[in-house]
Amino acid sequence: MKRFGISIGLLALSAAALVACGSGGGTVAVSPIQVAAAMTPVNATPDNTAGLVGVTVTADSGVAALGTTVPTTITIGGSAAAQTARVATGASAAGGRWTYGSCIFSITQSTFSADHPLALGKTATIEPCTVSVDTAGLVVDTPPAQRTLTLNLAGRSGTAVVNVNVTPSGAVVVNGGTMANTGIVLRSGG
């Protein structure tokens, strides 16, 4: 008798589960949700920096390699293929071409004094120069979320808030530009 009661209960539970799943007649495959872990910093290269165009990073303690010791902003402009930068601190600013192989700033306009590392005609090379983005907990293949980007400039960090999402292949997309070779780790989550 008991055995019969348990079988009826299991049958009712199975029927309820089928009704809850719908009556489409097909099966629904549920993919595991993938979540990004924290990203490893990557060297700043043309492949990793397309999403930096339009970003302004602020280094609160300055950037020694640029000869600044007070809050310094670096605004990346131009295009992904031909980036420019404007570096400002206090009442002085410099602008010019921004390239990679480190971060290399070729100054074509400046209000800094002639003996300053950011003077007109000089080139400032910042090494190491790495980029990292806080991707921890981002669900893969969802709309962009605002996260912190850190540009490490020879031991001094500048940060900015950017729009970030992660593709199913593990690529990190910053402001619409894909970062290559990010070393991001994906894990199942929910």
Q: How confident is the model at residue 190 (pLDDT cuts 50, 70, 90)?
A: low
Residue 104 contacts residue 125 (beta carbons within 8 Å): yes
The answer to whether the Cα torsion of 64, 67, 72, 77 is positive or negative is: negative
Please check the confidence at residue 110 and state whether its pLDDT lies above 90. yes
Rounded Cα–Cα distance for residues 109 and 119 (Å):
8
Give residue-wise pLDDT tens across range 8-58: 333 333 333 333 344 444 443 445 678 887 777 888 888 888 889 999 999
Provide the pLDDT for residue 10: 30
Q: How confident is the model at residue 5 (pLDDT cuts 50, 70, 90)?
A: very low
Tokens representing residue 175 in the block:
């402001």
